[in-house]
Structure 1
């Protein structure tokens, strides 16, 4: 916003230093003057006659006091200007870094030297903010590039199928319609997943009291036919786990976790465990599944958008590569933490930890 030009902070501090020094000097001179008047008699008798000492003292003290105050004024202005410049030097570096960040340079860091004080605390906080902002921008750029690539694929396939149909009018339209329907469905799923991910990142949702155990039961019942079709056993247990958040988003999060646990499982006789637990300040949702042995390196990357994990895709249920990315965003939007751990016997353990809902107030 446009502002009218004003006095610099350095000049304000200089005037403040000089004014305080002048005030302190004036008080000191006044104290000396009162002391002298108290102990020096007004007149004395001498062989030459009566002498007025206080009048002589005034004539001698006043010019000296004025000279001292003038010296203090000049000394306060010069010294205050130098001290203010030294004190505000870190602020100049912070302002320079802020302008660089405003112009798009997020790699610059202040790195203010010295011991801890208010300016260094501000500089460290600004450096931390720049680090997080740079990482967030880089993540968004990667996400935009991946999303563009993923969306371009079904559109390119659709264009190819339409070109083939236009050039070959005798081609079976039933097969073409089926393939177009499949590709269009995948594009819709990807678009809906992107919108859901954006909604979670922006935290644009209403928070209500919800029970994670009921959400886990609802998600498990929805996906039970898929588990039975694959010959898997789903076991659900746990305690009532009250928290505060969006029922729709937490249901989507749990559904994604259970769906991943079913899809990325053993070919037969696999198991999925869904449990909830309550702790003093948090509630936890844990989803475990049997499956292939996973390395920690693979586990650390599968929460990124469009990262499906090597060898973890199953025919017909590969998804759009946003399942765990959506889980991560929903968890962070609810001020929670997401932990992925490979199981020693194979498979994955995913733990979502959310703040527990405060106990109801008794009226």
Structure 2
């Protein structure tokens, strides 16, 4: 933004300090003068001490004014110079931390997000500002690094099906006798995977932008709908689904919150025991919010591994042994949707094996 040039903050502080000092000096001199006017007589009689005869009248106030005025002017001139010099020095010392903060801001605007102010000294307004700025830079650097990793991972994930499709087309073109039905079937599977990945990326982007209409909803109904939709998948894998809980009124996007519940239940079904698995879905009303909890049986998971599940493209063998790798964005989408609704996501390994996922959202 282009701005017109003006006085610097240091110059304005200097002028303010000097002006205040001059005002204080003027008031002090005025108080002294009023005191003299009140207690010093206008004239005095000069009497000879030997014969007590009156020798004349001496004008005290006029003489006092002639003596007081030039000295008062000299005092005010001294206060002006002292105020300007002292104010300039004091303003420089006070604004020194702000200079460091401004320099760090310029470095950050140029892309140097790793720079930190680390302002020394005891806590005051400037130190609080510097610490808040350092915290913001740390989070911004982390966010930028995360976005770069995500872009690289997404590019790799999208390139894989395209490379496979190209290889299949090359095989079909170079080998006319190859089974075309098999090639078409494999191309269909690869393209379906690419479409699922693209839709997941679009959904994740939509959640992060928070471009959606909010409505009054019951989270328990959305959880039941997601469970009913995935019931055939659970029956196919031999997983038992149990749902229950309280009415959970919230405000949010029906489509996104349904996707959140669907992703949680689908993950719980897929990443489960090979036979006889269980999934528990419930909603609870808590002080100030509502919670959707999805638990599943399964292999034992370490807390360190569980903390990585919300990272994009963490799936398959990196989690548990399963034949359903997905696109690796299920819990990443859940986290983004929860954050877009001012909620939180918590992943806790179950002592008996499996995972407990809790999404807490503000109550309507």
TM-score, structure 1 normalization: 0.96
**What root-mean-square deviation, in Å, do the aligned CA atoms of Structure 1 and Structure 2 show?**
1.1
Distance of aligned partners of 1:194 and 1:115 in 2 relative to their CA distance in 1, 3 Å threshold: same
Kindly indicate whether residue 181 of structure 2 is the aligned counterpart of residue 183 of structure 1.
Answer: no
| Superposed displacement of residue 312, structure 1 | 2.0
Which has the higher Rg, Structure 1 or Structure 2?
A: 2
Q: Secondary structure at the match of 1:244?
A: strand
Residue of structure 2 equivalent to 1:194: 201
| Contact map agreement 2:46 2:56 (CA 8 A) in 1 | yes
For 1:203 and 1:118, the matched residues in 2 are separated by 33
Instruction: Note the 1:134-283 alignment, pairs <5 A.
Output: 134-283=141-290
For 1:31 and 1:351, the matched residues in 2 are separated by 72
Moved segments of 4+, more than 4 Å: none
State how many pairs are aligned: 356
Distance of aligned partners of 1:313 and 1:324 in 2 relative to their CA distance in 1, 3 Å threshold: farther
| Superposed displacement of residue 208, structure 1 | 1.5
Residue of structure 1 equivalent to 2:338: 331
| Superposed displacement of residue 171, structure 1 | 2.3
| 1:256-298 deviation digits (Å, cap 9, x = unpaired) | 0000000011111111100000012110100011111111121
Residue of structure 1 equivalent to 2:19: 19
| Superposed displacement of residue 311, structure 1 | 5.0
Residue of structure 2 equivalent to 1:80: 87
| Superposed displacement of residue 314, structure 1 | 2.5
For 1:290 and 1:62, the matched residues in 2 are separated by 95
For 2:351 and 2:59, the matched residues in 1 are separated by 104
Kindly indicate whether residue 137 of structure 2 is the aligned counterpart of residue 130 of structure 1.
Answer: yes
| Superposed displacement of residue 313, structure 1 | 4.7
Residue of structure 2 equivalent to 1:360: none
For 2:136 and 2:73, the matched residues in 1 are separated by 53
| Unmatched runs of 5 consecutive residues or more in structure 2 | 48-54
Distance of aligned partners of 1:151 and 1:122 in 2 relative to their CA distance in 1, 3 Å threshold: same
For 1:303 and 1:228, the matched residues in 2 are separated by 26
Residue of structure 2 equivalent to 1:44: 44
